[in-house]
Amino acid sequence: MAIHCKGACYKTKRPQRRPFDTHRHCRTCDFWVLIGKGIGKNGSRCSCCNGIMAYLPRLNHKKRAYREVMSTINYKKINVPVEQNPFPDEKVEKW
């Protein structure tokens, strides 16, 4: 069974800045959806054609540029304060 657009989606404009940071793209329907607003588990499928939505650009040079920009942003680093070192030295402290 081939996946095809059923016409139930409305065409939206591509988000201007870092579109894959806030939206997902259905390549079949050319449809942009907010992250988690699709259907299926984790909202990862298109509500029209039920196809898996893209979370990265398609072309390799665009993927490379996108990853370079995203690696400069420190949003993935989480600083969690730890009271005690979870991996102590064996000489200092025994488990």
Count how many domains the chain has: 1
95 lies in a domain?
Answer: no
Report how far residue 27's alpha carbon sits from residue 49's, in angstroms, rounded to the nearest whole number: 10
- When pLDDT is averaged across residues 22-49 and rounded to a whole number, the result is 87
What span, in angstroms and rounded, lies between the C-alpha atoms of 23 and 58? Answer: 15
Q: Does residue 11 sit in helix, strand or coil?
A: coil
pLDDT for residue 28 is more than 80: yes
Q: Are 38 and 53 in contact (CB under 8 A)?
A: yes
Q: Which range of residues forms the domain containing residue 21?
A: 1-67
Q: What is the DSSP letter of 33?
A: E
Q: Is residue 20 part of a domain?
A: yes
Which pLDDT score is estimated for 88?
Answer: 59
pLDDT (average), residues 79-93: 57
Residue 74 lies in a domain: no
How far is Cα 76 from Cα 38, in angstroms, rounded to an integer?
23
The helix (H) or strand (E) run that includes residue 63 is helix 60-72
pTM score? 0.63
Residue 91 lies in a domain: no
